[in-house]
Structures are given as C-alpha cells and as structure tokens.
Amino acid sequence: MRQRFSGYVLVLAAAVLWGSLGIAVRFTTAAGVGAFEASVWRAGLAFAGALLAASATHREHLAVRPRDLVLFAGYGFVSIALFFLAYFTAIERTTVATAAVLLYTAPAWVAGLSAVLFGEELSRAKLLSLGLAFGGCALVVRAYDPSALRADLPGVLAGLASGLTYGLYSIFGKAALRRYPPLVVLVYALGFGTVFLVLLGTAAGVSPHRFLPSAVAAALAPLLYLGLVTTLLAQWLYVAGLRTVQASRASIVATVEPVVAGLLGYAVFRETLEPLQLVGAASVVAGAILAQVRR
C-alpha cells in the first residue's frame, strides 16, 4: 500500500510539472523559436540529462539487449516524435481547445490497451473515473463554447492520434520497465525520439540551421526548463510511478495536468477561469482520486 501510494505521488508530481509546460512555451514562442525546434531541444536536453544521470547511477544497465532496441525505437518514434507531430498538427488545423480535448482521450486508449496487453481490470470505478476525467478536461478547455471548437477532419484525426501516441507512452513504459530502470528507459526513448524529431522536422521543410544553438539562444532559459524539468524530471517521475501503479490508473491521474495549466495561466497571465471550467477542474480531480479505488 505504501509503495502504491508513493507511485501515485510520483505520477501526480509529473502531471503538475507537465501543467507548467505552457508557461515555458509562451516564452520560447515570444523569443521566435518554433514548435519543431523547441520540441527537438526539449527532447535533446532531456536525453543529455538522462544519459549523464544514468551513466553515474546505472552504467551497468546502459548496454541493452540488441532486440530491445526495437522496443526503444518504437517508444521514441511513437510516443516522442509522432506525438509531438500529431499534437502540433491538431493545434494548427483546429484550435488549442479542440486539440487538448482530443489529447485527453489518452486514458481511454490506455485503459483499453492495458486490459488487452496487461490483463488490467476494467472495473466500474475505473470506467467512471475515465468519464469524470475526460468530461472535466472538456470543461477545462471550454469545449462547451462553440467558438472555442472548430471541426476539421484532418485536425480531429491528428488530435485522436495525439491521444493514442500519448497514451502509448504508458504502454511502452510499462513494457520497458520490466527489464530496465526508469533512467535507462528514458535515455533510449528520448535518444531515439530526438533523432526521429530531427528527421521528421527536416522532412517537413524545417531548415537544419533552425536546430543549431545560435537559432535558439534567445530562449535558452525556457528551453532548459522544458528539457530538464518538464521532460526529464517529469518523465522520470512518471516512469518511476509506473513501477507500482497500473498504466491505466496512472494515465487518469495525469489528467490533472490541464487543471494545473489553467491555474498557472490565471496566476501568471491573469487568464480567467469560468465557473464551468472550475467544475471541470473539480471533475478531473475527482476522477484522479477515483482512479485509486479498487472497488
């Protein structure tokens, strides 16, 4: 029970850090750094930090089995590179609110896949917590306001893809943790993810010069925060929490992220929170708590 509680605390801490990501992105955008460049630096800095930490604490585990490289390559390609690409496409083709609602279909993807792959139970409490979490997220991002949502089939499909690839982060992580420590898992997932992001960005027409340090020097501080805090530290906390928490439950608990983002937006930028958004925040928290109930 104590280990499981500690796992939930780690997952919750990761979600809080992820909720602060939007604040840092505001600063990188203001400095003229594009989404693809910021993503590459976010993943690359996190990879460098994870490699240094793993070299100091888990050097003997860094030499992974060759056949496991396929797992890590899939992890990095799907849940790092494709996730960023799908999420950015959804934001571009629809709205931030639409993309965020579709992103948080992730717990539903994870719950279904975890039941099939890991034999995790789909209890009534878990199904109810899924409904509360997703419904709350929809309210937090003002899905009830027609002007905040705009239907666009390619954008909607990209948003659903972002939810799937984000949800698969838990699935890949659960499989990798059966063989390797969390830091080693992060080293290979982030390393492959960085390489695939550069390749995808170049294929999409982003000049390779945009990935050089001179192109992002004006946003160094927020990029360091994105890479080392919201990515390396947050993902280590989340992957470490997965060692004692079911993937489906961890994914639901992590939906407190948009609540934190909304509160930080109000505190830092004085963005308003409407009554229905506050109801949504309460619903997400209720879903996160209910996710811990076995029966």
For residues 171-181, give the mean pLDDT.
79
pLDDT at residue 46 in the model: 92
Instruction: Kindly state the tokens that stand for 245.
Output: 């928490």
Q: Measure the CA–CA gap between 146 and 66, rounded to whole angstroms.
A: 50
For residues 145-172, give the mean pLDDT.
77
In 10 A of CB 157, how many CB atoms? 15
Q: Measure the CA–CA gap between 36 and 82, rounded to whole angstroms.
A: 12
Q: How confident is the model at residue 223 (pLDDT cuts 50, 70, 90)?
A: very high
CB 87 within 8 A of CB 18: no
CB 247 within 8 A of CB 95: no
For the stretch 53-76, pLDDT in tens is: 999 988 888 888 888 898 899 889
Instruction: Kindly state the tokens that stand for 57.
Output: 């604490």
Instruction: Indicate the DSSP class of residue 21.
Output: H
For the stretch 89-100, pLDDT in tens is: 777 777 666 677
For the stretch 201-213, pLDDT in tens is: 888 888 888 888 8
For residues 120-137, give the mean pLDDT.
80
For residues 174-184, give the mean pLDDT.
81
Residues 6+ apart with CB under 8 A from 239: 173, 177, 182, 185, 186
Above 90 in pLDDT, residue 124? no
CB 161 within 8 A of CB 91: no
This prediction has a pTM of 0.76
Instruction: Kindly state the tokens that stand for 131.
Output: 């409904």
Average pLDDT score over the chain = 82
Q: Measure the CA–CA gap between 104 and 89, rounded to whole angstroms.
A: 16
Above 70 in pLDDT, residue 158? yes
Q: Which single residue is written with the structure tokens 């060692």?
A: 243
In 10 A of CB 65, how many CB atoms? 9
